[in-house]
A and B are shown apart, each in its own frame.
Chain A
Amino acid sequence: MYEDIESLRQKLMTVQRWIEEKDQALEYTEMYDEMIKMINELEQFRVKVK
Protein backbone atom coordinates (compact mmCIF):
# COMPACT_ATOMS: atom_id res chain seq x y z
CA MET A 1 0.00 0.00 0.00
CA TYR A 2 2.80 2.38 0.98
CA GLU A 3 4.53 1.79 -2.36
CA ASP A 4 1.30 2.32 -4.27
CA ILE A 5 0.69 5.63 -2.59
CA GLU A 6 4.29 6.73 -3.06
CA SER A 7 4.12 5.80 -6.75
CA LEU A 8 0.91 7.79 -7.17
CA ARG A 9 2.39 10.74 -5.33
CA GLN A 10 5.40 10.71 -7.65
CA LYS A 11 3.10 10.70 -10.67
CA LEU A 12 1.10 13.62 -9.32
CA MET A 13 4.36 15.49 -8.76
CA THR A 14 5.29 14.79 -12.37
CA VAL A 15 2.00 16.38 -13.42
CA GLN A 16 2.75 19.32 -11.14
CA ARG A 17 6.18 19.78 -12.73
CA TRP A 18 4.69 19.46 -16.20
CA ILE A 19 2.29 22.32 -15.44
CA GLU A 20 5.08 24.44 -13.95
CA GLU A 21 7.27 23.95 -16.99
CA LYS A 22 4.87 23.83 -19.87
CA ASP A 23 1.72 25.67 -18.97
CA GLN A 24 2.90 29.04 -20.25
CA ALA A 25 -0.62 30.20 -20.98
CA LEU A 26 -1.71 29.40 -17.39
CA GLU A 27 -4.58 27.27 -18.62
CA TYR A 28 -4.25 24.65 -15.94
CA THR A 29 -3.89 26.70 -12.75
CA GLU A 30 -6.96 25.08 -11.17
CA MET A 31 -5.53 21.65 -11.95
CA TYR A 32 -2.19 22.73 -10.49
CA ASP A 33 -3.81 23.81 -7.20
CA GLU A 34 -5.67 20.53 -6.95
CA MET A 35 -2.48 18.57 -7.65
CA ILE A 36 -0.76 20.33 -4.74
CA LYS A 37 -3.69 19.46 -2.47
CA MET A 38 -3.69 15.81 -3.56
CA ILE A 39 0.09 15.52 -3.14
CA ASN A 40 -0.18 16.89 0.42
CA GLU A 41 -3.08 14.59 1.25
CA LEU A 42 -1.17 11.60 -0.07
CA GLU A 43 1.91 12.66 1.92
CA GLN A 44 -0.14 12.62 5.12
CA PHE A 45 -1.79 9.34 4.16
CA ARG A 46 1.57 7.78 3.34
CA VAL A 47 2.87 8.66 6.82
CA LYS A 48 -0.35 7.25 8.32
CA VAL A 49 0.01 3.98 6.42
CA LYS A 50 3.66 3.68 7.31
Chain B
Amino acid sequence: MSDWLLVIIRGLLMVLVLFICTKLLGKKQISQLSFFEYVTGITIGSIGAEVITGLDRQFLHGVLGIVSFISIPLLMDYLSLKSKKVRDLVEGEGTVFIQQGKVIEENLRKERYSTDELMELLRRKDVFAVSDVNFAILEPSGELNVLLKKSRMPVVQEDIKKRVQDEKPPETIIMDGEPVEKALQSIGRDIEWLREQMRKKGVSMSDVFLAQISQDGKIFLDLYDRTENQRELISLLKECREDFIKISRKLPEKEGLLFYKNAEMIEGFARIVR
Protein backbone atom coordinates (compact mmCIF):
# COMPACT_ATOMS: atom_id res chain seq x y z
CA MET B 1 0.00 0.00 0.00
CA SER B 2 1.40 3.41 -0.94
CA ASP B 3 2.26 5.92 1.82
CA TRP B 4 -0.25 8.58 0.74
CA LEU B 5 -3.11 6.08 0.88
CA LEU B 6 -1.97 4.94 4.31
CA VAL B 7 -1.94 8.55 5.58
CA ILE B 8 -5.51 9.07 4.32
CA ILE B 9 -6.75 5.89 5.98
CA ARG B 10 -4.95 6.69 9.26
CA GLY B 11 -6.32 10.25 9.12
CA LEU B 12 -9.90 9.08 8.68
CA LEU B 13 -9.51 6.52 11.48
CA MET B 14 -7.97 9.13 13.78
CA VAL B 15 -10.85 11.55 13.13
CA LEU B 16 -13.18 8.79 14.25
CA VAL B 17 -11.10 8.10 17.38
CA LEU B 18 -10.92 11.81 18.27
CA PHE B 19 -14.64 12.22 17.63
CA ILE B 20 -15.42 9.43 20.10
CA CYS B 21 -12.95 10.86 22.63
CA THR B 22 -14.45 14.36 22.48
CA LYS B 23 -17.92 12.86 22.91
CA LEU B 24 -16.68 11.08 26.02
CA LEU B 25 -15.25 14.31 27.40
CA GLY B 26 -18.67 15.93 27.42
CA LYS B 27 -20.27 19.11 26.18
CA LYS B 28 -18.34 21.74 28.07
CA GLN B 29 -17.59 24.92 26.17
CA ILE B 30 -13.95 25.80 25.55
CA SER B 31 -14.14 28.57 28.20
CA GLN B 32 -15.39 26.05 30.75
CA LEU B 33 -12.56 23.58 30.26
CA SER B 34 -10.58 22.71 33.37
CA PHE B 35 -6.80 22.64 33.27
CA PHE B 36 -6.78 18.88 32.68
CA GLU B 37 -9.32 19.09 29.86
CA TYR B 38 -7.36 21.91 28.26
CA VAL B 39 -4.06 19.97 28.40
CA THR B 40 -5.77 16.78 27.23
CA GLY B 41 -7.29 18.54 24.24
CA ILE B 42 -3.88 19.79 23.08
CA THR B 43 -2.10 16.50 23.77
CA ILE B 44 -4.51 14.15 22.04
CA GLY B 45 -4.51 16.48 19.04
CA SER B 46 -0.72 16.27 18.89
CA ILE B 47 -0.69 12.49 19.30
CA GLY B 48 -3.33 12.18 16.55
CA ALA B 49 -1.29 14.30 14.12
CA GLU B 50 1.89 12.38 14.97
CA VAL B 51 0.25 8.99 14.38
CA ILE B 52 -1.36 10.00 11.08
CA THR B 53 1.81 11.21 9.44
CA GLY B 54 4.41 9.11 11.31
CA LEU B 55 4.08 5.95 9.28
CA ASP B 56 6.93 4.31 11.14
CA ARG B 57 4.80 4.41 14.30
CA GLN B 58 2.12 1.88 15.25
CA PHE B 59 -1.42 3.30 14.85
CA LEU B 60 -2.65 1.27 17.83
CA HIS B 61 0.03 2.83 20.07
CA GLY B 62 -1.27 6.26 19.18
CA VAL B 63 -4.84 5.24 20.00
CA LEU B 64 -3.70 3.77 23.35
CA GLY B 65 -1.89 7.02 24.13
CA ILE B 66 -5.01 9.06 23.40
CA VAL B 67 -7.25 6.72 25.43
CA SER B 68 -4.89 6.81 28.41
CA PHE B 69 -4.79 10.60 28.22
CA ILE B 70 -8.56 11.10 28.09
CA SER B 71 -8.99 8.70 30.99
CA ILE B 72 -7.29 11.28 33.25
CA PRO B 73 -9.88 14.12 32.80
CA LEU B 74 -12.67 11.56 32.92
CA LEU B 75 -11.35 10.30 36.24
CA MET B 76 -10.86 13.86 37.49
CA ASP B 77 -14.41 14.78 36.46
CA TYR B 78 -15.71 11.83 38.41
CA LEU B 79 -13.61 12.66 41.50
CA SER B 80 -14.58 16.35 41.23
CA LEU B 81 -18.23 15.42 41.42
CA LYS B 82 -17.57 13.36 44.52
CA SER B 83 -15.18 15.67 46.40
CA LYS B 84 -15.09 19.45 46.88
CA LYS B 85 -11.36 19.34 47.64
CA VAL B 86 -10.61 17.62 44.34
CA ARG B 87 -12.92 20.07 42.58
CA ASP B 88 -11.05 23.05 44.05
CA LEU B 89 -7.76 21.46 43.12
CA VAL B 90 -8.75 20.61 39.56
CA GLU B 91 -11.02 23.50 38.61
CA GLY B 92 -9.59 26.09 40.96
CA GLU B 93 -11.39 28.47 43.31
CA GLY B 94 -12.72 31.92 42.69
CA THR B 95 -10.56 34.83 43.82
CA VAL B 96 -12.17 37.86 45.42
CA PHE B 97 -10.98 41.03 43.69
CA ILE B 98 -13.24 43.60 45.30
CA GLN B 99 -14.95 43.47 48.68
CA GLN B 100 -17.28 46.24 49.89
CA GLY B 101 -15.93 48.61 47.26
CA LYS B 102 -12.28 47.98 48.19
CA VAL B 103 -9.90 46.35 45.72
CA ILE B 104 -7.93 43.50 47.28
CA GLU B 105 -4.56 44.19 45.74
CA GLU B 106 -2.92 41.07 47.09
CA ASN B 107 -5.40 38.89 45.21
CA LEU B 108 -4.87 40.91 42.04
CA ARG B 109 -1.12 40.30 42.28
CA LYS B 110 -1.69 36.62 43.05
CA GLU B 111 -3.73 36.21 39.87
CA ARG B 112 -1.31 38.52 37.97
CA TYR B 113 -4.02 40.99 36.99
CA SER B 114 -3.25 44.67 36.53
CA THR B 115 -5.64 47.46 37.57
CA ASP B 116 -6.33 48.16 33.89
CA GLU B 117 -7.35 44.57 33.34
CA LEU B 118 -9.59 44.68 36.39
CA MET B 119 -11.26 47.87 35.11
CA GLU B 120 -11.74 46.29 31.71
CA LEU B 121 -13.45 43.28 33.29
CA LEU B 122 -15.68 45.64 35.29
CA ARG B 123 -16.59 47.65 32.21
CA ARG B 124 -17.65 44.45 30.47
CA LYS B 125 -20.21 44.19 33.27
CA ASP B 126 -21.32 47.80 32.69
CA VAL B 127 -19.62 48.94 35.88
CA PHE B 128 -17.48 52.06 35.61
CA ALA B 129 -16.86 52.91 39.27
CA VAL B 130 -15.23 50.52 41.71
CA SER B 131 -17.16 52.26 44.48
CA ASP B 132 -20.40 50.87 42.99
CA VAL B 133 -19.21 47.33 43.60
CA ASN B 134 -20.01 45.44 46.74
CA PHE B 135 -18.33 42.24 45.75
CA ALA B 136 -16.40 41.07 42.66
CA ILE B 137 -14.97 37.62 42.22
CA LEU B 138 -12.76 36.20 39.49
CA GLU B 139 -14.17 32.80 38.65
CA PRO B 140 -11.87 29.87 37.73
CA SER B 141 -13.17 30.29 34.15
CA GLY B 142 -11.59 33.78 34.04
CA GLU B 143 -14.93 35.58 34.18
CA LEU B 144 -15.45 38.37 36.70
CA ASN B 145 -18.81 38.27 38.48
CA VAL B 146 -19.96 41.45 40.12
CA LEU B 147 -22.45 42.14 42.89
CA LEU B 148 -23.37 45.82 42.95
CA LYS B 149 -24.07 47.81 46.09
CA LYS B 150 -27.77 47.96 47.00
CA SER B 151 -27.97 51.63 46.04
CA ARG B 152 -26.63 50.85 42.57
CA MET B 153 -28.78 47.84 41.83
CA PRO B 154 -31.62 48.18 39.33
CA VAL B 155 -34.99 48.68 41.01
CA VAL B 156 -37.19 45.59 41.09
CA GLN B 157 -40.89 45.45 41.82
CA GLU B 158 -40.36 44.35 45.41
CA ASP B 159 -38.21 47.42 46.10
CA ILE B 160 -41.09 49.74 45.36
CA LYS B 161 -42.93 50.53 48.55
CA LYS B 162 -46.24 50.90 46.79
CA ARG B 163 -48.02 47.61 46.78
CA VAL B 164 -48.27 46.44 43.23
CA GLN B 165 -51.21 44.26 42.43
CA ASP B 166 -51.05 41.58 39.81
CA GLU B 167 -52.06 42.94 36.45
CA LYS B 168 -55.59 42.01 35.45
CA PRO B 169 -56.74 42.15 31.86
CA PRO B 170 -59.04 45.08 31.02
CA GLU B 171 -62.79 44.46 30.99
CA THR B 172 -64.66 45.00 27.73
CA ILE B 173 -67.62 47.13 28.73
CA ILE B 174 -69.03 48.02 25.28
CA MET B 175 -68.98 45.72 22.31
CA ASP B 176 -70.56 46.60 18.95
CA GLY B 177 -72.29 49.58 20.48
CA GLU B 178 -73.92 47.49 23.23
CA PRO B 179 -73.06 47.50 26.93
CA VAL B 180 -71.61 44.26 28.28
CA GLU B 181 -73.59 43.89 31.50
CA LYS B 182 -71.59 40.98 32.88
CA ALA B 183 -68.38 42.99 32.63
CA LEU B 184 -70.07 45.99 34.26
CA GLN B 185 -71.21 43.79 37.14
CA SER B 186 -67.71 42.40 37.59
CA ILE B 187 -66.35 45.93 38.09
CA GLY B 188 -69.26 46.92 40.31
CA ARG B 189 -70.83 49.38 37.82
CA ASP B 190 -74.12 49.64 35.97
CA ILE B 191 -75.41 50.88 32.63
CA GLU B 192 -76.29 54.30 34.05
CA TRP B 193 -72.68 54.77 35.12
CA LEU B 194 -71.55 53.72 31.65
CA ARG B 195 -73.94 56.18 29.98
CA GLU B 196 -72.58 58.94 32.22
CA GLN B 197 -69.01 58.03 31.24
CA MET B 198 -69.92 58.14 27.55
CA ARG B 199 -71.66 61.49 28.05
CA LYS B 200 -68.49 62.85 29.62
CA LYS B 201 -66.55 61.71 26.59
CA GLY B 202 -69.10 63.26 24.23
CA VAL B 203 -70.18 60.04 22.55
CA SER B 204 -73.18 57.77 22.78
CA MET B 205 -72.87 54.05 23.34
CA SER B 206 -74.08 53.29 19.84
CA ASP B 207 -71.08 55.19 18.43
CA VAL B 208 -68.67 52.90 20.23
CA PHE B 209 -67.34 49.84 18.49
CA LEU B 210 -65.31 48.72 21.51
CA ALA B 211 -64.74 50.12 24.98
CA GLN B 212 -62.45 48.65 27.61
CA ILE B 213 -61.74 49.70 31.16
CA SER B 214 -58.34 49.01 32.67
CA GLN B 215 -57.68 48.04 36.25
CA ASP B 216 -56.89 51.65 37.16
CA GLY B 217 -60.23 52.84 35.74
CA LYS B 218 -59.01 54.28 32.45
CA ILE B 219 -61.49 53.84 29.61
CA PHE B 220 -60.27 53.11 26.11
CA LEU B 221 -62.71 53.84 23.28
CA ASP B 222 -62.68 52.65 19.70
CA LEU B 223 -65.40 54.44 17.73
CA TYR B 224 -67.11 53.18 14.62
CA ASP B 225 -65.52 54.31 11.37
CA ARG B 226 -68.61 55.95 9.93
CA THR B 227 -69.15 58.31 7.04
CA GLU B 228 -71.05 61.55 7.52
CA ASN B 229 -74.05 60.04 5.69
CA GLN B 230 -74.11 57.02 8.00
CA ARG B 231 -73.98 59.28 11.05
CA GLU B 232 -76.88 61.27 9.64
CA LEU B 233 -78.99 58.15 9.05
CA ILE B 234 -78.26 56.76 12.52
CA SER B 235 -79.23 60.07 14.05
CA LEU B 236 -82.55 60.00 12.14
CA LEU B 237 -83.20 56.42 13.19
CA LYS B 238 -82.47 57.27 16.83
CA GLU B 239 -85.04 60.05 16.75
CA CYS B 240 -87.62 57.72 15.21
CA ARG B 241 -86.95 55.07 17.83
CA GLU B 242 -87.31 57.52 20.70
CA ASP B 243 -90.61 58.81 19.23
CA PHE B 244 -91.96 55.26 18.88
CA ILE B 245 -91.13 54.58 22.54
CA LYS B 246 -92.59 57.90 23.66
CA ILE B 247 -95.88 57.25 21.83
CA SER B 248 -96.03 53.61 22.99
CA ARG B 249 -96.14 54.83 26.59
CA LYS B 250 -99.18 56.98 25.86
CA LEU B 251 -101.18 54.21 24.20
CA PRO B 252 -103.19 51.29 25.58
CA GLU B 253 -101.11 48.14 26.13
CA LYS B 254 -101.99 46.35 22.87
CA GLU B 255 -101.29 49.29 20.56
CA GLY B 256 -98.40 50.43 22.70
CA LEU B 257 -96.74 47.05 22.25
CA LEU B 258 -96.91 47.42 18.46
CA PHE B 259 -95.18 50.79 18.67
CA TYR B 260 -92.57 49.36 21.00
CA LYS B 261 -91.85 46.55 18.54
CA ASN B 262 -91.34 49.13 15.82
CA ALA B 263 -88.88 50.93 18.11
CA GLU B 264 -86.94 47.69 18.47
CA MET B 265 -86.96 47.18 14.71
CA ILE B 266 -85.58 50.69 14.19
CA GLU B 267 -82.84 49.92 16.68
CA GLY B 268 -82.00 46.83 14.65
CA PHE B 269 -81.71 48.99 11.51
CA ALA B 270 -79.37 51.36 13.31
CA ARG B 271 -77.17 48.39 14.11
CA ILE B 272 -77.07 47.44 10.41
CA VAL B 273 -75.87 50.95 9.54
CA ARG B 274 -72.94 50.48 11.94
Chain A residues in the interface with B (C-beta under 8 A): 1, 4-5, 7-8, 11-12, 14-15, 18-19, 22, 27-28, 31, 34, 38, 45
Contact = CB atoms under 8 A, between A and B. Distances in A.
Interface residues of B, number: 18
B247 A34 contact: no
Given A4-B247, A38-B262, A31 B240 contact: no
A34 B272 CA distance: 14
A34 B236 contact: no
A34 B265 contact: yes
Contacts of A18: 229, 232-233, 236
Nearest to B246: A4
9 contacts: A4-B243, A4-B247, A4-B250, A5-B247, A8-B244, A11-B240, A19-B233, A27-B272, A34-B265
Contacts of B262: 38
Interface of B: 229, 232-233, 236-237, 239-240, 243-244, 246-247, 250, 255, 262, 265, 269, 272-273
SS class, residues of chain B in contact with chain A? helix
A31 B250 contact: no
Which residue, of A5, A8, A22, A28, has the highest number of chain B Cβ atoms within 10 A? A8
Contact of B272 (A4, A11, A12, A28): A28
A45 B247 CA distance: 12
A14 to B, nearest CB: 6
A9 B158 CA distance: 66
A18 B269 CA distance: 14
Contacts of B229: 18, 22
A14 B244 CA distance: 15
